[in-house]
């Protein structure tokens, strides 16, 4: 798993200042699981069903939904992860 985690994300998480993160387009949950290993609470969002290893995880709350329908609460997250998801959006949403 470590080779799939971006070095920049590693540096941010390892600082120890992140308490609650949002993983948009969580997919198989590699990044969520990495963050959770530092006891960071994660809201992992993906349009697909959560993989079995993410169900009932102590630190990961998986939300099955379309990202375009997501409404963010101000100041809820210390970190928002968006990795390889922009190509799934319609151009008018991204721009």
Measure the CA–CA gap between 45 and 26, rounded to whole angstroms. 6
- pLDDT at site 95: 47
- pLDDT at site 87: 52
**Lowest mean pLDDT, pick from 6-10, 22-26, 38-42, 87-91:** 87-91
Tokens 């992992």 correspond to 44
- pLDDT at site 16: 86
3-state DSSP assignment of residue 9:
helix
Measure the CA–CA gap between 40 and 58, rounded to whole angstroms. 10
Confidence at 88, pLDDT banded by 50, 70, 90: low
Q: Which residues pair with 79 in a beta bridge?
A: 21
pLDDT in tens, 18-54: 999 999 889 889 999 999 999 999 999 999 998 898 8
Q: What is the DSSP letter of 39?
A: T
pLDDT in tens, 55-77: 889 999 999 998 778 888 999 99
Tokens 């169900």 correspond to 55
- pLDDT at site 5: 67
């Amino acid at each position: 798993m470590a080779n799939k985690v971006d070095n920049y994300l590693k540096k941010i998480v390892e600082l120890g200042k992140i308490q609650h993160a949002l993983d948009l387009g969580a997919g198989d949950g590699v990044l969520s699981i990495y963050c959770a290993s530092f006891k960071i609470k994660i809201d992992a969002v993906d349009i697909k069903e959560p993989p079995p290893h993410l169900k009932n995880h102590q630190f990961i709350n998986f939300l099955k939904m379309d990202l375009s329908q997501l409404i963010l609460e101000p100041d809820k997250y210390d970190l928002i992860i968006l990795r390889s998801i922009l190509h799934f959006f319609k151009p008018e949403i991204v721009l």
